[in-house]
């Protein structure tokens, strides 16, 4: 018996749910204003990010690759979901000639940070590297955890529920469109390198899907 994992890249379409959902947008835009990216008028939704420096939530004005947030859309009925497509200028992050080939960097401050995988392909948590902005060194995730730079345990809100899932295993995937809580103990930067799934490449359609 032969089994293999099929990894499907994210598209410009997402599922909006009733209530608050934790998301990350794995695309970039000519205009990063959140109302432009989603094509939704102000007043029809709410979006909040968490600032670990203050311990407070603030309104999201612009989408930033690698930064996740909570979002609520008013016209999604309770218990229902709604398919929604981003605007046409949504483009793949770190794209070079149709390939998602450039590293991406997500800064974390001490405390809890809402983060997301900036690539359209899932990335294994253990493949993420960590750069210390204090010592100016880059190490593996395992070494960073041993150094006390961050907690390796990740928390993810389970869609359509009221609970969190959590994991710390290196072979767990950080999925596109999902937001994650990561606790940093020092100022660090997560280094995401383009994933190369088995029997695949990071080749994508220019400009996204």
Model confidence at 6, in pLDDT bands (50, 70, 90)? low
pLDDT tier at 194 (50, 70, 90 boundaries)?
A: confident
pLDDT-derived band of residue 96, with 50, 70 and 90 as boundaries?
confident
Whether residue 141 has pLDDT greater than 80: yes
d(CA 22, CA 190): 19
Which of 127, 175, 178 is closest to 157 using CA atoms?
Answer: 178
At residue 70, the 3 state secondary structure works out as strand
Strand partners, 165: 156
User: What digits encode the pLDDT tens for the residues 25-83?
Assistant: 999 999 999 999 999 998 999 999 999 999 999 999 999 999 999 999 999 988 889 99
pLDDT at position 71 is 96
Name the band, by pLDDT with cuts 50, 70 and 90, for residue 2: low
Q: Could you give the CA distance from residue 139 to residue 134 in angstroms, rounded to a whole number?
A: 13
The stretch 103-131 carries a mean pLDDT of 96
Distance CA 33, CA 61 (A): 6
Question: If you write DSSP's letter for every residue of 155-170 in order, what string do you get?
Answer: EEEPTTSS-EEEE--T
Predicted pLDDT of residue 62 = 96
What are the tens digits of pLDDT across the range 40-53? 998 999 999 999 99
| Mean pLDDT estimate for the chain | 89
Contact 70, 47 (CB under 8 A): yes
SS3 62: strand
pLDDT surpassing 90 at residue 123: yes
The owner of tokens 């799934």 is: 197
pLDDT of residue 205: 39
- Determine the pLDDT at residue 209: 35
Distance, CA of 157 to CA of 115 (rounded, Å): 12
Give first-to-last CA distance, the chain, whole Å.
34
pLDDT tier for residue 164 given thresholds of 50, 70 and 90: very high
Average pLDDT rounded to a whole number, residues 135-141: 97
DSSP string, 169-192: -TT-EE-TTB-EEEEESSSEEEEE
61 and 42 in contact (C-beta within 8 Å)? no
Inter-residue contact 190 to 104 (CB < 8 Å): no
């Amino acid at each position: 018996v032969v089994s293999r994992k099929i990894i499907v890249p994210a598209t410009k379409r997402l599922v909006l749910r009733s209530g608050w959902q934790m998301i990350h947008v794995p695309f970039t835009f000519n205009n990063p204003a959140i109302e432009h990216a989603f094509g939704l008028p102000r007043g029809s939704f709410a979006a909040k990010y968490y600032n670990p420096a203050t311990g407070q939530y603030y309104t999201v004005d612009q989408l930033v690759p690698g930064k996740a947030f909570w979002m609520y859309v008013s016209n999604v009925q309770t218990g229902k979901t709604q398919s929604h497509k981003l605007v046409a200028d949504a483009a793949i992050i770190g794209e070079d000639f149709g390939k998602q080939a450039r590293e991406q960097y997500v800064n974390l401050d001490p405390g809890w940070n809402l983060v997301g995988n900036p690539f359209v392909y899932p990335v294994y948590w253990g493949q993420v590297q960590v750069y210390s902005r204090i010592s100016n060194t880059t190490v593996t995730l395992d070494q960073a955890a041993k150094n006390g730079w961050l907690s390796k345990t990740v928390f993810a809100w389970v869609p359509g529920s009221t609970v969190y899932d959590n994991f710390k295993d290196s072979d767990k995937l950080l999925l596109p469109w999902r937001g994650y809580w990561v606790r940093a103990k020092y100022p660090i930067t997560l280094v995401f390198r383009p994933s190369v799934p088995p029997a695949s490449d990071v080749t994508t359609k220019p400009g996204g899907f």
